[in-house]
């Protein structure tokens, strides 16, 4: 039987139960059906016929579901078994389930096992139950309906109602599920670090689990000093940690630092020491934030956007709890994973595996940053050359408002003569080969931070444009002054239209050849568009001349 679930943990637990002989078949309305095999039945259990059954079908009636929220960090279900007994089952983070359980020696043992599982990088959950009487369930149901119908503080009243029923639980135990890393995660993180991209990990996992995964995937570099800010309950404690970390980084300037902070401490830091936490954290080589709610992830991204250097933030996630973070960042990246498509649907870019991020940023990011820079700068350049000649002509004609170009050339210059080559370049330009960019992530620094849009590049293109239209205009003007009949049929002198045609001819040839020289990846298609643009000018001029003879 193939199970589908919104959470990989739930799917793993159901599949594990099925392998042990407790098979979840499905549901019909509120009736949930389980098939219990012989391997899952104790030897002293008999069916109604008195024999140990090979398989037995058991039904539970679902009475209520208390949904999971990022604040509760747990969910519960209330069911009635075949004997009419009502049970409440709860699963969730042990930090939010164990405090609700009745005192028992099992709590300490379970907590120790959970810590051991977390150190192995496993995702842990605590499971508990409570026996409810018919009267207790009816009271809870009435209170829940009343709270859900309230027009004031509805969410708070519903949560309070759920909290009252989730008390005095009987701890059943804990589960540990391995969330294996995808392929090439470590190499991807290392490449991003070499490219100068700072990576933060924001997760809802336990501190021990998150630390183990961060070490295994290379997020925390070898030799980095680790500093933990956990279990803080007052502003003074967080202040002391931040001051100590800042002092240690000042003393050991050559040592990379990594900071690990949990959700409770982060809440205090964001409320009371927002700027200090931001300034200290950006100096760390790696930052690991654990036990975060979706809102806290969003707040961390908001905080990073206020850094003085104005960094461009990108958030990547694969679950519904990452949506707010993805939408807050400048660039949202969603992974289509086992936890659903919510993140992918809300992201700017979506892909299947985390390792694809390496090629997305280092290759495609480099290519399109270069392509867009050339596209923008070239548009300024070619129009400066085109209209600069108009400026010189207006000076020589005492600002007569007469255009030196024919109206046909004014119309077709940006539409036909110079449009196609730059668009092809903007789709095909490759300053480096793909393998070169993947093997040398540091090349990404050449385009990071919009470096190619800097003023020095813009001014360089504009100075070159001024030089080019000056040479074109004054060279043509000098030829016409020297011999105005040089291109005329005998014995007529050259016409004004011919003067403008020679100017536009030089402009079209020059700006197209300039783009050809500027390009690095000269494909056959690109070279063909450059030549066709020049020939298109010549052909349109010839046809237009025939029509006006």
How many C-beta neighbours within 10 Å does residue 51 have? 8
How far out from the chain centre does Cα 364 lie? 15
- Do 327 and 346 contact (CB within 8 A), yes or no? yes
Q: According to the annotation, is 318 in a ligand binding site? A: yes
Concatenate the DSSP letters of all residues of 229-242 into one string: E-S--SHHHHHHHH
| Residue 201 DSSP SS3 | strand
Rounded CA separation 262/346 (Å) = 26
CA–CA–CA angle 8, 14, 15 (5° rounding): 85
DSSP state of 492: P
Residue entry with tokens 């001051």: 243
Q: According to the annotation, is 283 in a ligand binding site? A: no
Token pair of 104 as six digits: 């028992």
Rounded CA separation 267/274 (Å) = 10
Q: According to the annotation, is 74 in a ligand binding site? A: no
Q: According to the annotation, is 205 in a ligand binding site? A: yes
Task: Tell me whether residue 241 is exposed, middle or buried, using C-beta atoms within 10 angstroms of its C-beta: 0 to 12, 13 to 18, 19 or more.
Answer: buried
Q: According to the annotation, is 123 in a ligand binding site? A: yes
Residue entry with tokens 């290379």: 218
DSSP state of 55: E
Rounded CA separation 215/203 (Å) = 14
Rounded CA separation 267/235 (Å) = 10
- Do 74 and 58 contact (CB within 8 A), yes or no? no
Q: According to the annotation, is 321 in a ligand binding site? A: yes
- Do 93 and 117 contact (CB within 8 A), yes or no? no
Rounded CA separation 370/523 (Å) = 16
Q: According to the annotation, is 297 in a ligand binding site? A: yes
Rounded CA separation 73/123 (Å) = 14
Rounded CA separation 290/167 (Å) = 26
Q: According to the annotation, is 204 in a ligand binding site? A: yes
| Residue 152 DSSP SS3 | coil
How many C-beta neighbours within 10 Å does residue 411 have? 11
To the nearest 10°, report the CA torsion of 301, 310, 366, 442.
-90
Point out the annotated binding site for Mg(2+): 318, 322
Point out the annotated binding site: 10, 68, 91, 123, 203-205, 291, 297, 318, 321-322
Point out the annotated binding site for ATP: 10, 68, 91, 123, 203-205, 291, 297, 321-322
């Amino acid at each position: 039987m193939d199970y589908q679930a919104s959470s990989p943990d739930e799917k793993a637990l159901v599949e594990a139960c099925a392998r042990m002989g407790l098979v979840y078949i499905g549901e019909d309305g509120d009736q949930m059906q389980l098939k219990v095999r012989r391997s899952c039945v104790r030897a002293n259990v008999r069916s109604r016929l008195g024999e140990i059954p090979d398989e037995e079908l058991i039904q539970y009636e679902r009475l209520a579901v208390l949904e999971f929220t990022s604040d509760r960090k747990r969910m519960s279900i209330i069911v009635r078994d075949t004997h009419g007994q009502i049970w409440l089952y709860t699963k969730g983070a042990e930090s939010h389930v164990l405090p609700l359980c009745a005192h028992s020696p099992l709590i300490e043992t379970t907590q120790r096992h959970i810590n051991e599982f977390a150190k192995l990088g496993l995702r842990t959950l605590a499971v508990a139950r409570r026996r409810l009487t018919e009267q207790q369930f009816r009271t809870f149901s009435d209170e829940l309906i009343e709270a859900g119908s309230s027009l004031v503080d509805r969410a708070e009243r519903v949560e309070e109602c759920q909290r009252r029923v989730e008390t005095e639980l009987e701890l059943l135990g804990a589960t540990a599920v391995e969330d294996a890393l995808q392929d090439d995660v470590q190499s991807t993180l290392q490449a991003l670090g070499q490219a100068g991209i700072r990576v933060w990990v924001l997760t809802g996992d336990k501190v021990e689990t998150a630390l183990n995964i961060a070490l295994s995937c290379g997020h925390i570099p070898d030799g980095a000093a680790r500093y933990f800010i956990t279990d803080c309950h007052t502003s003074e404690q967080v202040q002391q940690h931040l001051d100590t970390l800042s002092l240690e980084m000042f003393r050991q300037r050559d040592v990379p630092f990594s900071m690990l902070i949990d959700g409770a401490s982060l809440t205090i830091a964001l409320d009371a020491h927002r700027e200090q936490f931001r300034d200290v954290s950006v100096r760390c080589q790696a930052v690991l934030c654990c036990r975060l709610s979706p809102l806290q992830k969003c707040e961390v991204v908001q905080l990073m956007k206020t850094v003085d250097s104005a960094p461009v933030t990108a958030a990547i996630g694969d679950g519904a709890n990452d949506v707010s973070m993805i939408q807050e960042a400048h660039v949202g990246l969603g992974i289509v994973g086992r936890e659903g498509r919510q993140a992918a649907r809300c992201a700017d870019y979506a892909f299947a595996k985390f390792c694809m991020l390496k090629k997305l940023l280092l290759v495609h990011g480099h290519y399109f940053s270069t392509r867009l820079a050339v596209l923008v700068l070239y548009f300024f350049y070619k129009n400066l050359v085109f209209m600069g000649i108009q400026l010189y002509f207006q000076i020589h004609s005492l600002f007569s408002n007469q255009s030196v170009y024919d109206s046909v050339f004014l119309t077709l210059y940006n539409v036909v003569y110079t449009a196609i080559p730059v668009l092809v370049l903007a789709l095909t330009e490759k300053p480096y080969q793909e393998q070169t960019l993947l093997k040398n992530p540091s090349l990404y620094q050449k385009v990071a931070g919009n470096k190619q849009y800097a003023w020095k590049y813009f001014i360089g293109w504009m100075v070159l444009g001024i030089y080019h239209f000056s040479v074109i205009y004054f060279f043509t003007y000098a030829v016409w002054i020297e011999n105005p009949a040089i291109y005329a049929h005998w014995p007529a002198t050259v016409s004004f239209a011919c003067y403008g045609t020679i100017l536009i001819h030089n402009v079209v040839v020059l700006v197209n050849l300039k783009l050809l020289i500027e390009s690095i990846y000269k494909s056959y298609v690109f070279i063909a568009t450059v030549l066709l643009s020049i020939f298109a000018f010549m052909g349109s001029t010839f046809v237009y001349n025939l029509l006006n003879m």
